[in-house]
Structure 1
Amino acid sequence: MKITNLAILFICIFVPFYLVMDFRTGDQKTAQALSDQYSASLHTAVQDASQMLNMNVLQEYEAGYQSRKFFFANKERALDTFFRTLYLNFDVVNDPVRQGALAGYIPAVAVIDYDSYDLYAVDEYRDANGERVFKHMWRPKKPYSYSDDRGNSINFTLDSYVYAYDSYAKAWVEGFREDLEGTTNIPLLDNAANFEAMRKSVIVKSIQQDLAYYINKHNEYATRYGVHYTFSLPQISQEEWINSIDDIGIMAFIQGIPIGDQFYNNYALGGGRLVKKTEIKGAVDLTTGIKYYYPSTCSYGYREDETFSSERDAAAAGYYPKGCMNR
């Protein structure tokens, strides 16, 4: 065979191969760019939503005196902000049809509150005509509940505060575990290490189980609307789960958006205490011996002996107010 014929044969065989590879490489780059764009949009939406968890109309729902973690999470405002930001970043603000299509790829949003959690997910009900309707809605709030083999029950919170039922005394008690230690017939309250391990386990497993259920249930809804993807709870490390329950927050999942020959699948977590309350310092003026309290943003050179979460606690401990403007 002549060299020219071999050259032609080589071109006929290998050029199409290289063209296909080049096209595939281009598709992969496009898919990666879209994936990065979607991830940025999702994380921005969750961060915006997490800040709204703090926004409460009534001061009584702000951080309480007893617990620095107590907050009334504003789930409605957070969810509204989440979707507003998401629609803006996906460029579907004025397009209800595309908004509905995007919502079809969001199997669940979870709000982690101080003493319970809320899930926003698709559920079904019968309309006035008896037809099955699938719709995103808030599921009933669920506490972080635990019970032992003695019939005792405990509702945990994001710190050591509990609402517990003592089956032997047939009475409800509440308070911080350390204050209740030795005063009840509930063994778990008498062991700090076991209590903390069980508290974290119960909170994480409760949220995990409900998320897995509703994300899996989303498959039925998605199939009816032409979304060809199997929704499931993604693998999240135990460390990330533990970090997610350190304070109130929000977590959202987006799955199944086609990008090339792949599917976009991601989640994002956002803490609700992004704006931390200023700590209150309790200090002693060594010259006069007077005890003052003031915001941690002030500096007087006094000996700082204690840190409080509120001015009320500092005043109760015998400290006098001293604002930065009095310096």
Structure 2
Amino acid sequence: MKITDFCLVFIVIFFPVFLIVGYHVQDQRNVRFTELKYVTALRTAVQDAGSMLNVNERQEFESGYGSAKFFKADKEQALDTFYHTLYANLGIEEDAAAQQVLDRYIPAVVVIDYDGYWVYAEEEYKGADGMAYAKHLWLPKKPYSYSDRAGNLVHFTLDNVVEAYQAGSGTWIKGLQRELGPTASIPLLQDGVRYEQVRRTTIVQAIEDDLANVINRHNEKAVRNGTSYVFTLPLISQEEWNNSIDDIGILAFIQGIPIGEQALNNYALGSGRLVKSTVIKAGVDHRTGIRYYSRGDCADDLDAAETFTSAKEAAANGYFEKPCTRAFEP
């Protein structure tokens, strides 16, 4: 057989293979581009929404009033911002039909607040005509609650502030765990290390359990609507959970969108910590009687009487800057 014949046989056999491989490579590129587009849009939307969580109408709900992490999260404004940014980045801000389709692939949005959390999800209800309908709405706020065998109840927050019910005396107490511990009858409050471990575990477990239930209900509705994709709670690393419960924030999912032969399953976390300002505490040093102002942990020795937004403002009110050596202690 001549070499030209071999060439013809080679072309006849392998050209379709090269063509199919080329189509597959291009399809994979399109899939990656589409996936990146959705993931980027979701993350940007969550970041924008997170930045709106700490925009409060009343000053006493801003960071620094009793706690550096205390905010009254504006969940409505955050949710509006989330959807506005998401629709805009996907080019469907004027397309109501496309928005409704996309909403089917967002099983839940969670707002992590200072003393509890909200879940925004599709729920079924009966109308005045007795027919079953479904719409997205906020589920009731859930506290970060823990109870022990003795009947004690503890409501955690995102920091050291705690509210607890002492079953033995039938009384409620509220304050910093490290201050309540020595006199509290609840064992958990008496051990700072264990308290912090249980606090974090309780917050994460509560949100995960609630999300699992919401996504299971979403699956049931999806099956009735002809969707074959099985929605599941994505695996979120412990590091990401630790970051998410260090401050108020928002968590959102996009799942089941067909992309090529696959289905998109992604989530994003956004924090509300972006515009917090340092709080200046001022008061009398109980050891020297001198009026000082300081920041953060360095203010622990002060009988804090006032708070300021800047050192200049504190100095203008007759306070001296307190030397801080704690940062250099081993």
Please tell me the TM-score bracket, short chain as reference: 0.7 to 0.9
Determine the structure 1 residue equivalent to 2:99: 99
Cα distance change of structure 1 residues 96 and 307 upon mapping to structure 2, 3 Å threshold: farther
Matched residues in 1 for 2:216 and 2:20: separation?
A: 37
> What number of residue pairs does the alignment pair up?
309
Determine the structure 1 residue equivalent to 2:315: 322
Equivalent pair of 1:282/1:307 in contact (CA under 8 Å): no
What pairs with 1:20-169 in structure 2 (closer than 5 Å)? 20-169=20-169
Q: Match of 1:322, SS?
A: helix
Determine the structure 2 residue equivalent to 1:252: 252
State the AA in 1 paired with 2:27: D
Q: Match of 2:255, SS?
A: strand
State the AA in 2 paired with 1:238: Q
Unmatched runs of 5 consecutive residues or more in structure 2: 317-330
Matched residues in 1 for 2:74 and 2:305: separation?
A: 25
Equivalent pair of 1:48/1:85 in contact (CA under 8 Å): yes
Equivalent pair of 2:293/2:299 in contact (CA under 8 Å): no
Q: Match of 2:263, SS?
A: strand
**Cα-Cα RMSD:** 2.8
Cα displacement (A) at 1:126? 1.3
Equivalent pair of 1:65/1:313 in contact (CA under 8 Å): no
Matched residues in 1 for 2:101 and 2:239: separation?
A: 33
Determine the structure 2 residue equivalent to 1:301: none
Cα displacement (A) at 1:293? 3.8
User: Does structure 1 residue 270 correspond to structure 2 residue 263?
Assistant: no
Equivalent pair of 1:293/1:320 in contact (CA under 8 Å): no
Cα displacement (A) at 1:312? 5.2
Cα displacement (A) at 1:226? 4.0
Matched residues in 2 for 1:113 and 1:24: separation?
A: 46
Equivalent pair of 1:161/1:175 in contact (CA under 8 Å): yes
Cα displacement (A) at 1:63? 2.3
Q: Match of 1:198, SS?
A: helix
Matched residues in 1 for 2:278 and 2:219: separation?
A: 45
Cα distance change of structure 1 residues 294 and 240 upon mapping to structure 2, 3 Å threshold: closer
Which one is further off, 71-80 or 269-278? 269-278
Cα displacement (A) at 1:6? 3.9
Deviation string, structure 1 residues 1-30 (Cα, Å, up to 9, x no partner):
555444333222211111011000001111
Normalising by structure 1, what TM-score? 0.87
Cα distance change of structure 1 residues 249 and 98 upon mapping to structure 2, 3 Å threshold: same
State the AA in 2 paired with 1:206: A
State the AA in 2 paired with 1:190: Q
Cα distance change of structure 1 residues 64 and 96 upon mapping to structure 2, 3 Å threshold: same
Cα distance change of structure 1 residues 201 and 275 upon mapping to structure 2, 3 Å threshold: same
Q: Match of 1:321, SS?
A: helix
Determine the structure 1 residue equivalent to 2:191: 191
Matched residues in 2 for 1:235 and 1:65: separation?
A: 35
Matched residues in 2 for 1:110 and 1:123: separation?
A: 15
